[in-house]
Amino acid sequence: MTGLDAVAVERRGRVQIITMTRTAKRNAIDPSITAGLDAAFNELEDDPDLWCAVPTGGAEFFCAGADLATGPGEPTPLGGIAGLIQRRRTKPLIAAVEGFAHGGGFELGLSCDLAVASRTARFGLPAVSSRSSGRASG
């Protein structure tokens, strides 16, 4: 699957709709999602007729985070992880979240300027911390 297969881009007037379409893997971020998101965000910045973008994952889930089998792919030159996390942007992003946004999917949502969450939206950051559980040590 290429980035163009894993991410659909639609234009509605001056708004770009960016939909992750790797539904069999719950939109887990792999190299194809990273490439597709990076291409979409590059297009957004390069096109003066686009004013903002709405990243989404569809009706069932936003994004399960990094694909545990393949990883998210190499960071992109402009966006870093998933083509977005470290990107310097001039146009707003509005995450449309339905279902779960876990791990890297939650981070994608946090990287947007605004998130609109449905009643089914569930956010989680299940990463294990290297820090202690917060208990005082002796």
pLDDT at 138 over 60: no
Provide the residue count of the chain.
Answer: 138
Q: What is the pLDDT of residue 3?
A: 60
Give the helix/strand (H/E) hosting 34.
Answer: helix 31-46
**In the chain, % of residues over pLDDT 70:** 88
Residue 130 lies in a domain: no
Residue 129 lies in a domain: no
Q: What is the pLDDT of residue 126?
A: 84
Residue 134 lies in a domain: no
Q: Structure tokens of 55? A: 């990243």
Domain of residue 69: give its range: 3-124
Which one is predicted more confidently, 7 or 136?
A: 7
Q: How far apart are CA 61 and CA 96, in angstroms?
A: 10
| Average pLDDT score over residue span 12-38 | 97
Q: Name the pTM for this structure.
A: 0.88
Q: How far apart are CA 39 and CA 106, in angstroms?
A: 20
| Average pLDDT score over residue span 17-36 | 97
Residue 135 lies in a domain: no
pLDDT at 44 over 60: yes
Number of domains, the chain: 1
CATH number where 108 lies: 3.90.226.10
Q: What is the pLDDT of residue 137?
A: 46
Residue 132 lies in a domain: no
pLDDT at 60 over 80: yes
Q: How far apart are CA 45 and CA 87, in angstroms?
A: 11
